Amino acid sequence: MKDEKRDQLIARQSYKKSNELINAMGKGTALSQKLFAIGMQHITVDDTNNVVATIYGTDLRKMFKSTSGSLYEHIEALCDRQVKGATIFDWNLLMKDKENGKIEAHQVVTDASFKNGTLTLRYNNSLTDKIVNLQKDYTVLSLADTLSLKSVYSLRLYEMLKSAFDYKKAIEKIDGEQVMDYNLTELKLELGIINSGGDNKIKAELEKDYPDYEKIDELIEKTGQTKYKEYKIFNRNVLSKAKDELNKKTSLIIDYEPIKSGRKTVGIRFFVDKKNIAANTNKKEKEVVRNKDDVLDDLIELMHDYFKIKEIRDIADCAGYDYEKIKKAYDYMLTYNTTVDVPIAFMKDCIKNEYYNNKAKPIPSKKNSFNNFEQRTDIDFEELEKQLLDN
């Protein structure tokens, strides 16, 4: 009971984060973001103007979900690249200094020490005015929301979308669901999926008030950064997972759709609302419509060996563009132990009756008298199949 009450108190805590930090391009780890959130509860500024965050063992155990034993191994993995690839020192930012017309690159965490069960982090003194004494241009974030997220992309999107949501509400006086557009390359830069790679041409382009992201994308490709290059992979491994995690674990409810130029995705449009004011009516229908083109693209790639595009679209309409349902039916058809004469009819029947979810076998579509039978739930499909094969 005591621990439960304390957890509830922690859940109500919040912290401020500069919008400049939130919207800076760069990369980091989920743990570095979480440690920043926890550390903001106990911060000081030392005589060298560095922000120093103190994180006590009780908070570390909650973050690592460690109830017993030493914290040393966790801290070692945080700090030593030989133990674990990415560390808290890999949190790097690329920030525009518009007043001086230049870009600043910063390693956020400069030093760390662990003693007597307490972790102390020292942050770059160039960022001090962006971490403490914030009077404007900041976003209030939920500590509970931040600590609940596993993916670094979910964490970054949570901060970015919360910042944009609060801005529109406060400055533009917009209530309810709000819309934010991001260029696809810009979004990948802010999520830390791609970076300048030290290329002066990329940095020079980013310094502009209105960067040419198409040019930046071409330059970045030459640096060999191809992670999540294809939109469908980026969508599946980053956006879709982040959306599910944010909707499940945070105070935000988000949706998104691709912004397309022809068939090419050039940007992402996010729809953001707060859960307590979210309008959930027909949400699922909107989601299906928004992602229809992407689902169709994936289905064409999956099933082009067996179906024409017109037939794939017909199957998609039958399934309400539910990709998983169609894929299950398609996999079921491929493993079916009898030749399927009319695949499109087989697929539709399989989707409609969800044969892939049970042991019953659907009747292969053949031009014989059995096609006139009305589908019944009490049919012995194995026996019926034997009769078909005997004919």
Confidence (pLDDT) at 272: 94
Mean pLDDT of the chain: 80
Q: Which helix (H) or strand (E) holds 123?
A: strand 118-123
Q: Is 227 helix (H, G, I), strand (E, B) or coil?
A: coil
Q: Which two tokens stand for residue 52?
A: 């120093």
The model's pTM: 0.65
Q: What percent of the chain is helix, strand and coil (3-state, nearest 5)? A: 50, 20, 35
The stretch 351-363 carries a mean pLDDT of 71
State CA 295 to chain mean position distance.
18
Residue found by looking up tokens 């400069």 in the block: 110
Confidence (pLDDT) at 156: 93
> Angle CA(389)–CA(390)–CA(391) in degrees, nearest 5?
90
Confidence (pLDDT) at 69: 60
Q: Is the per-residue pLDDT at 192 higher than 90?
A: no
Residue found by looking up tokens 């790097």 in the block: 92
Confidence (pLDDT) at 155: 93
What is the full DSSP assignment across 253-280? Answer: EEEEEEEEETTEEEEEEEEEEETTT---
Q: Is residue 72 left, alpha or beta, with left meaning phi > 0 and alpha meaning psi from -120 to 50? A: alpha
In the Cβ-directed half-sphere of 236, how many Cα atoms lie within 13 Å? 13
Task: With beta carbons less than 8 A apart as the criterion, state whether 89 and 121 touch.
Answer: no
Domains of the chain: 1-137 (1.10.10.10), 292-390 (no CATH)
pLDDT digits 0-9 by tens, 123-180: 999 899 989 888 888 899 988 898 889 889 999 999 999 999 998 888 877 778 899 9
Q: Is the per-residue pLDDT at 360 higher than 70?
A: no
The stretch 287-293 carries a mean pLDDT of 57
